[in-house]
Chains A and B, each alone.
Chain A
Amino acid sequence: VIWMTQSPSLLSASTGDRVIISCRLSQGVGTSLAWYRHQPGKAPELLIYAASTLQSGVPSRFTGSGSGTDFTLTINSLQSEDFATYYCQQYYTLPRTFGPGTKVEIK
Protein backbone atom coordinates (compact mmCIF):
# COMPACT_ATOMS: atom_id res chain seq x y z
CA VAL A 1 0.00 0.00 0.00
CA ILE A 2 1.28 3.47 -0.88
CA TRP A 3 0.74 5.86 1.99
CA MET A 4 0.29 9.55 1.40
CA THR A 5 0.61 12.68 3.48
CA GLN A 6 -0.51 16.21 2.68
CA SER A 7 0.65 19.47 4.14
CA PRO A 8 -0.66 21.60 5.53
CA SER A 9 -3.79 19.86 6.80
CA LEU A 10 -5.47 23.25 7.26
CA LEU A 11 -4.71 26.44 5.39
CA SER A 12 -6.27 29.84 6.08
CA ALA A 13 -6.25 32.20 3.13
CA SER A 14 -8.07 35.12 1.55
CA THR A 15 -9.65 35.55 -1.86
CA GLY A 16 -6.92 36.44 -4.33
CA ASP A 17 -4.16 34.64 -2.42
CA ARG A 18 -1.80 32.09 -3.90
CA VAL A 19 -1.75 28.80 -2.03
CA ILE A 20 0.46 25.75 -2.32
CA ILE A 21 -0.48 22.27 -1.11
CA SER A 22 2.05 19.47 -0.86
CA CYS A 23 1.55 15.73 -1.25
CA ARG A 24 4.23 13.23 -0.30
CA LEU A 25 4.08 9.48 -0.97
CA SER A 26 5.72 6.52 0.72
CA GLN A 27 7.09 5.29 -2.61
CA GLY A 28 7.53 6.67 -6.09
CA VAL A 29 4.62 6.75 -8.53
CA GLY A 30 6.20 8.49 -11.50
CA THR A 31 3.55 11.01 -12.47
CA SER A 32 0.52 8.83 -11.68
CA LEU A 33 -1.04 11.38 -9.39
CA ALA A 34 -4.32 13.28 -9.46
CA TRP A 35 -5.73 16.21 -7.48
CA TYR A 36 -9.38 16.80 -6.54
CA ARG A 37 -11.38 19.64 -5.02
CA HIS A 38 -14.22 18.65 -2.72
CA GLN A 39 -16.73 21.29 -1.68
CA PRO A 40 -19.08 20.36 1.19
CA GLY A 41 -22.21 18.60 0.01
CA LYS A 42 -20.99 18.33 -3.56
CA ALA A 43 -19.33 15.68 -5.68
CA PRO A 44 -15.53 15.79 -5.72
CA GLU A 45 -14.08 17.34 -8.89
CA LEU A 46 -10.99 16.21 -10.77
CA LEU A 47 -8.59 19.12 -11.19
CA ILE A 48 -5.30 17.61 -12.32
CA TYR A 49 -4.15 14.20 -13.53
CA ALA A 50 -0.76 12.86 -14.60
CA ALA A 51 0.65 15.21 -11.95
CA SER A 52 0.39 18.31 -14.12
CA THR A 53 -2.32 17.90 -16.77
CA LEU A 54 -5.28 20.19 -16.24
CA GLN A 55 -8.63 18.43 -16.58
CA SER A 56 -10.81 19.89 -19.32
CA GLY A 57 -12.88 22.79 -18.04
CA VAL A 58 -10.77 23.41 -14.94
CA PRO A 59 -9.57 27.00 -14.58
CA SER A 60 -5.93 27.71 -15.36
CA ARG A 61 -5.33 29.10 -11.86
CA PHE A 62 -4.78 25.46 -10.83
CA THR A 63 -1.30 24.06 -11.49
CA GLY A 64 0.17 20.70 -10.56
CA SER A 65 3.81 19.71 -10.47
CA GLY A 66 6.15 17.02 -9.22
CA SER A 67 7.09 13.42 -9.82
CA GLY A 68 8.19 10.39 -7.87
CA THR A 69 7.27 10.98 -4.25
CA ASP A 70 6.75 14.76 -4.00
CA PHE A 71 3.98 16.74 -5.64
CA THR A 72 2.41 20.16 -5.29
CA LEU A 73 -0.88 21.80 -6.20
CA THR A 74 -0.76 25.56 -6.63
CA ILE A 75 -3.87 27.71 -6.75
CA ASN A 76 -3.25 31.21 -8.05
CA SER A 77 -5.71 33.94 -7.11
CA LEU A 78 -7.99 31.95 -4.81
CA GLN A 79 -11.70 32.31 -5.65
CA SER A 80 -14.72 31.83 -3.37
CA GLU A 81 -15.44 28.38 -4.78
CA ASP A 82 -11.90 27.28 -3.93
CA PHE A 83 -12.58 27.22 -0.20
CA ALA A 84 -12.85 23.48 -0.02
CA THR A 85 -10.87 20.36 0.82
CA TYR A 86 -8.21 19.14 -1.62
CA TYR A 87 -7.07 15.56 -2.01
CA CYS A 88 -4.20 13.99 -3.91
CA GLN A 89 -4.61 10.43 -5.17
CA GLN A 90 -2.13 7.95 -6.62
CA TYR A 91 -3.12 5.54 -9.36
CA TYR A 92 0.27 3.91 -9.91
CA THR A 93 -0.80 0.77 -8.13
CA LEU A 94 -3.64 -0.95 -6.29
CA PRO A 95 -5.17 -0.11 -3.95
CA ARG A 96 -5.73 3.41 -5.20
CA THR A 97 -5.03 5.67 -2.25
CA PHE A 98 -5.83 9.25 -1.34
CA GLY A 99 -4.02 11.73 0.83
CA PRO A 100 -5.76 12.78 4.06
CA GLY A 101 -6.84 16.11 2.58
CA THR A 102 -6.01 19.80 2.95
CA LYS A 103 -8.82 22.09 3.99
CA VAL A 104 -8.58 25.61 2.63
CA GLU A 105 -10.61 27.95 4.79
CA ILE A 106 -11.36 31.65 4.70
CA LYS A 107 -8.95 33.67 6.84
Chain B
Amino acid sequence: DVQLVESGGGLVQPGGSLTLSCATSGFIFSNFWMSWVRQAPGKGLEWVANIKQDGSEKNYVDSVRGRFTISRDNAKNSLYLQLSSLGADDMAVYYCGYGGYFFNYWGQGTLVTVSS
Protein backbone atom coordinates (compact mmCIF):
# COMPACT_ATOMS: atom_id res chain seq x y z
CA ASP B 1 0.00 0.00 0.00
CA VAL B 2 1.11 3.54 -0.73
CA GLN B 3 1.89 5.46 2.44
CA LEU B 4 2.96 9.06 2.96
CA VAL B 5 3.66 10.23 6.50
CA GLU B 6 4.39 13.88 7.21
CA SER B 7 6.21 15.10 10.29
CA GLY B 8 7.99 18.16 11.60
CA GLY B 9 5.09 20.50 12.16
CA GLY B 10 4.69 22.46 15.35
CA LEU B 11 4.55 25.88 16.93
CA VAL B 12 6.93 28.48 15.53
CA GLN B 13 7.25 32.19 16.16
CA PRO B 14 6.63 34.70 13.38
CA GLY B 15 9.77 35.01 11.32
CA GLY B 16 10.91 31.56 12.36
CA SER B 17 11.85 28.46 10.42
CA LEU B 18 10.83 24.84 10.29
CA THR B 19 11.55 21.77 8.17
CA LEU B 20 8.80 19.34 7.26
CA SER B 21 9.46 15.77 6.19
CA CYS B 22 7.40 13.22 4.30
CA ALA B 23 8.39 9.57 4.55
CA THR B 24 6.99 7.42 1.79
CA SER B 25 6.59 3.73 1.02
CA GLY B 26 4.67 1.44 -1.31
CA PHE B 27 5.78 2.99 -4.60
CA ILE B 28 9.00 3.75 -6.47
CA PHE B 29 9.60 7.20 -5.03
CA SER B 30 12.39 8.12 -7.41
CA ASN B 31 10.07 7.67 -10.42
CA PHE B 32 7.60 10.38 -9.49
CA TRP B 33 7.21 14.11 -9.11
CA MET B 34 6.21 15.01 -5.55
CA SER B 35 4.33 17.99 -4.16
CA TRP B 36 3.35 19.90 -1.05
CA VAL B 37 -0.19 21.25 -0.59
CA ARG B 38 -1.46 23.18 2.42
CA GLN B 39 -4.77 24.03 4.01
CA ALA B 40 -5.07 27.03 6.30
CA PRO B 41 -7.63 26.81 9.12
CA GLY B 42 -11.13 27.06 7.69
CA LYS B 43 -9.81 27.52 4.17
CA GLY B 44 -9.44 25.43 1.04
CA LEU B 45 -6.48 23.61 -0.44
CA GLU B 46 -3.50 25.52 -1.81
CA TRP B 47 -0.69 24.00 -3.87
CA VAL B 48 2.69 25.07 -2.48
CA ALA B 49 5.49 23.43 -4.46
CA ASN B 50 6.55 20.45 -6.51
CA ILE B 51 9.83 18.76 -7.40
CA LYS B 52 10.91 16.60 -10.30
CA GLN B 53 12.08 13.01 -9.88
CA ASP B 54 15.78 13.88 -9.76
CA GLY B 55 15.32 17.20 -8.00
CA SER B 56 16.47 19.16 -11.04
CA GLU B 57 13.24 21.14 -11.35
CA LYS B 58 11.33 22.82 -8.56
CA ASN B 59 8.28 25.04 -8.75
CA TYR B 60 6.64 27.22 -6.12
CA VAL B 61 3.51 29.28 -5.63
CA ASP B 62 4.41 32.98 -5.65
CA SER B 63 3.52 33.51 -1.98
CA VAL B 64 6.28 31.16 -0.77
CA ARG B 65 8.95 31.54 -3.45
CA GLY B 66 12.21 32.64 -1.85
CA ARG B 67 11.06 31.57 1.62
CA PHE B 68 10.33 27.85 1.20
CA THR B 69 12.60 25.19 -0.30
CA ILE B 70 11.41 21.80 -1.51
CA SER B 71 13.89 18.94 -1.68
CA ARG B 72 14.00 15.17 -1.77
CA ASP B 73 16.26 12.27 -0.88
CA ASN B 74 15.55 9.39 -3.22
CA ALA B 75 17.78 7.05 -1.23
CA LYS B 76 15.56 7.62 1.81
CA ASN B 77 12.26 7.81 -0.14
CA SER B 78 11.65 11.13 1.55
CA LEU B 79 10.41 14.58 0.64
CA TYR B 80 11.17 17.77 2.54
CA LEU B 81 9.97 21.34 2.79
CA GLN B 82 12.08 23.97 4.50
CA LEU B 83 9.97 26.89 5.66
CA SER B 84 11.50 30.22 6.64
CA SER B 85 10.38 33.78 7.40
CA LEU B 86 7.09 32.32 8.51
CA GLY B 87 4.04 34.54 8.90
CA ALA B 88 0.47 34.10 10.04
CA ASP B 89 -0.59 33.31 6.47
CA ASP B 90 1.65 30.23 6.52
CA MET B 91 -0.24 28.61 9.37
CA ALA B 92 -1.79 25.50 7.89
CA VAL B 93 -1.88 21.75 7.67
CA TYR B 94 0.81 20.77 5.18
CA TYR B 95 0.23 17.67 3.07
CA CYS B 96 2.69 15.88 0.87
CA GLY B 97 1.26 14.53 -2.33
CA TYR B 98 2.35 11.84 -4.79
CA GLY B 99 2.45 13.48 -8.20
CA GLY B 100 3.38 16.76 -9.78
CA TYR B 101 0.21 17.39 -11.75
CA PHE B 102 -2.65 15.86 -9.80
CA PHE B 103 -2.13 14.04 -6.53
CA ASN B 104 -2.86 10.33 -6.48
CA TYR B 105 -2.18 9.91 -2.79
CA TRP B 106 -1.82 12.25 0.16
CA GLY B 107 -0.50 11.99 3.66
CA GLN B 108 -2.51 12.87 6.76
CA GLY B 109 -0.75 16.20 7.04
CA THR B 110 1.31 18.01 9.66
CA LEU B 111 0.15 21.21 11.35
CA VAL B 112 2.29 24.32 11.34
CA THR B 113 1.18 26.96 13.85
CA VAL B 114 2.71 30.42 13.64
CA SER B 115 2.27 32.37 16.84
CA SER B 116 4.23 34.36 19.39
Contacts and interface: CB of A to CB of B under 8 A. Distances in A.
- Are A and B part of the same complex? yes
Interface of A: 32, 34, 36, 38, 42-46, 49, 55, 87, 89, 91, 94-101
Given A94-B59, A95-B61, A96-B101, A43 B106 contact: yes
Nearest to B104: A46
Given A87-B45, A95-B61, A46 B108 contact: no
B47 A96 contact: yes
A43 B62 contact: no
B103 A46 contact: yes
A86 to B, nearest CB: 11
Contacts of B60: 95
7 closest cross-chain pairs (CB), A and B: A34-B102, A91-B101, A96-B47, A43-B106, A98-B45, A101-B44, A95-B61
